[in-house]
Amino acid sequence: MATKDTSSFHQEPSDLLPDIKGPIPGSKAKAELKLDEKYISPSYTRNYPLVVDRALGSTVWDVDGNRFLDFNAGIAVCSTGHCHPKIVEAIQKQSARLIHMSGTDFYYPQQVEVAKALTEIIPIKESKRIFLSNSGAEAVECAMKLARFHTGRPHFISFYGSFHGRTLGAMSLSNSKTIHRRKMGPVTPEATAVPYAYCYRCPVNRCYPGCSLECLDQLEHVVFSKRIAPDEVAAIFVEPVQGEGGYVPAPREFLARLRDLCNQHGILLVFDEIQSGMGRTGKYFASEHSGVVADIYCVAKGIASGLPLGATVASSRVMTWDSGSHATTFGGNPVSCAASVKTIELLKDGLLDHCREMGERLLSHLRPLVQTSPIVGDVRGFGLMVGMEIVSDKAKKTQAHDLRNEIVMECFRKGLLILGCGPNTLRFCPPLVVTPSQIDWACETVAKVIRGHESKA
Ligand SMILES: Cc1ncc(COP(=O)(O)O)c(C=O)c1O
């Protein structure tokens, strides 16, 4: 497969493969794990005992000097790779000049710079405005409040399998795991979940392509006629590719029909592109694969290559709330803004094309496993946002949760950092700077590990 010269956005050495020197966790990692157990909240979801010391590009070193290949990118955050020299330089320069002032009360140019760069790539055609925050959940909270403010309506619709964040508002839209809500409720009662177009496991037993999107009938013909009048719905929140729910891309027609429904009833369509945006799918935003445009976009994660930043972008016609109705102390911090402007520059300067090429390479390795392995049920995705479902019975599509976790663990022991999502999906989301040989090695390793687990299904 032909690949471009990627030296302009790679740091050297860019092409390292794993090197595991001894048992993991090693002695230094073990000591850290003990301290962590004493001091850190047990609510985190650590999958394996990786204690990170430093990272560069797609390579991560642990505190014992073992070298790993990162196929998580800090959960789809380190889009330009770890510690990209141009990002580090932008952060260093900005932090020597101004670290904080609070955009809520004062002006500084970095907020406008990032707003200009972001609004240029957000697909809304009209003039746009932007609210800057610190995280994905905050970007979603902002969209919820803005949608209510703008429409004067109380209700929200979201989808089964969705994940929009862990704050109480965003959590009320999230429906991917019961543990997120258990003992935390009540959440916003005006949030209703309906089936998503999860075509491999069609919620209404139809089979895309060729279906009539019967999964949306529940919203259109049940919820809107028996439960909530559509003119009381402020917004429909949807991930164009569900992330935590299992890397499930929505078909183009599904998003188009949501757009039509929203137009028909004066509802705002919100795309949560927090995981799927900022180039991860080979386009700036995953929804661009469908051509459907939302009214509000929520962006975070890869937006600033690892610094905390969230953005809620809407047309100027929608973002009309009054001074004081929404604000934040830290959001849109100048250092995060500088990192974000540089991130967008790198995407434009070839990283987006590289991601598309690497994504094709990744899929060309992984797709054949659906035919050759009895435990690979489905491989799907765009660019470097690819999911692989592990099943114990292919005909019945039985979700193999434990088996998936064993595969994740075995990959870790071999030096490949991969995570699951959904009950039984392996997620592939390396930094966008990942190289061809790193893709090849990761896919060979996963295939080998899968072969070794086939008899356990
Ligand atoms: C689609 C989506 N929305 C929102 C969030 C929440 O982002 P954060 O963890 O930055 O609050 C996530 C995080 O995984 C996400 O994947």
Is residue 5 predicted with pLDDT exceeding 60?
no
The pLDDT score that the predictor gives to residue 13 is 60
Sole residue written with tokens 């386009």: 283
Residue 82 is given by DSSP the state B
For the chain, report the end-to-end CA distance as a whole number of angstroms: 34
For residue 34 the two structure tokens come to 């003990």
Residue 399 is given by DSSP the state B
Which residue among 281, 285, 298, 301 has the greatest number of ligand 1 atoms within 8 angstroms of its CB, and so is best to mutate? 301
Cα(305) to ligand 1 centroid in Å equals 15
Other CB atoms within a 10 A radius of the CB of residue 172 amount to 23
pLDDT-based confidence at residue 171 (cuts at 50, 70, 90): very high
Contact 440, 365 (CB under 8 A): yes
Is residue 6 predicted with pLDDT exceeding 60?
no
Is residue 208 predicted with pLDDT exceeding 90?
no
Q: Give the full edge-to-edge strand order of the sheet including 67-70.
A: 52-56, 59-62, 67-70, 416-417
Contact 100, 330 (CB under 8 A): yes
Which residue among 43, 134, 168, 275 has the greatest number of ligand 1 atoms within 8 angstroms of its CB, and so is best to mutate? 275
130 CB under 6 A from ligand 1? no
pLDDT-based confidence at residue 455 (cuts at 50, 70, 90): confident
Closest CA to 413 of 77, 78, 69, 34: 69
Cα(421) to ligand 1 centroid in Å equals 13
User: What average pLDDT does the structure give for the chain?
Assistant: 95
pLDDT-based confidence at residue 205 (cuts at 50, 70, 90): confident
Contact 62, 68 (CB under 8 A): yes
DSSP string for 122-137: S---S-EEEEEESSHH
pLDDT digits (tens, 9 = 90+) for 47-68: 999 999 999 999 999 999 999 9
Which residue among 78, 142, 164, 171 has the greatest number of ligand 1 atoms within 8 angstroms of its CB, and so is best to mutate? 164
The pLDDT score that the predictor gives to residue 414 is 98
Minimal-distance CA residue to ligand 1 atom 3: 164
pLDDT-based confidence at residue 12 (cuts at 50, 70, 90): low
Contact 395, 387 (CB under 8 A): no
* 386-395 average pLDDT score: 97
Cα(165) to ligand 1 centroid in Å equals 5
Q: Give the full edge-to-edge strand order of the sheet including 233-238.
A: 128-133, 310-315, 296-299, 268-272, 233-238, 155-159, 191-194
| 3-class state of residue 388 by DSSP | strand
Share of the chain above pLDDT 90, in %: 93
Query: 88-347: what fold?
Result: Aspartate Aminotransferase; domain 2 (3.40.640)
Encoded amino acid at 200, one letter:
Y
275 CB under 6 A from ligand 1? yes
| 3-class state of residue 102 by DSSP | coil
Burial class (CB in 10 A: 0-12, 13-18, 19+), 105: exposed
Encoded amino acid at 41, one letter:
S
The pLDDT score that the predictor gives to residue 99 is 97
Q: Which value, to the nearest 10 degrees, does the dihedral of the CA atoms of residues 324, 329, 332, 335 take?
A: 160
Task: For the domain covering 27-81+358-456, report its CATH number.
Answer: 3.90.1150.10
Is residue 108 predicted with pLDDT exceeding 90?
yes
Cβ contacts of 454 within 8 Å, gap of 6 or more: 373, 374, 375
Q: Do domains 27-81+358-456 and 88-347 have the same CATH topology?
A: no
Is residue 2 predicted with pLDDT exceeding 50?
no
273 CB under 6 A from ligand 1? no
Cα(150) to ligand 1 centroid in Å equals 24
Which residue among 77, 173, 176, 274 has the greatest number of ligand 1 atoms within 8 angstroms of its CB, and so is best to mutate? 274
CA distances from 230 to 52, 152, 222, 292, 437 (A): 49, 13, 11, 21, 51
Ligand 1 atom closest to 243 (CA): 16
Sole residue written with tokens 């001091």: 39
| Domain parsing of the chain, residue ranges | 27-81+358-456, 88-347
The pLDDT score that the predictor gives to residue 428 is 98
Is residue 9 predicted with pLDDT exceeding 90?
no
Is residue 207 predicted with pLDDT exceeding 80?
no
pLDDT-based confidence at residue 3 (cuts at 50, 70, 90): very low
Q: Whole-angstrom Cα distance, residue 362 to residue 61?
A: 23
Cα(31) to ligand 1 centroid in Å equals 30
- Are β-strands 233-238 and 155-159 bridged in parallel, bridged antiparallel, or unpaired? parallel
Ligand 1 atom closest to 167 (CA): 11
Q: Which long-range contacts (CB under 8 A, 24 or more apart) does 110-115 make?
A: 110/332, 110/334, 110/337, 110/338, 110/341, 111/332, 111/334, 111/337, 113/337, 113/341, 114/309, 114/311, 114/332, 114/337, 114/340, 114/341, 114/344
Is residue 435 predicted with pLDDT exceeding 60?
yes
Q: Which of 10-19, 102-111, 151-160, 308-317 has the lowest mean pLDDT?
A: 10-19
Ligand 1 atom closest to 273 (CA): 1
* 68-96 average pLDDT score: 97
Q: Whole-angstrom Cα distance, residue 283 to residue 209?
A: 23
Q: Which of 157-171, 174-188, 292-306, 342-356 has the lowest mean pLDDT?
A: 174-188
Is residue 244 predicted with pLDDT exceeding 90?
yes
Ligand 1 atom closest to 272 (CA): 1
Q: Whole-angstrom Cα distance, residue 305 to residue 351?
A: 13
* 34-56 average pLDDT score: 96
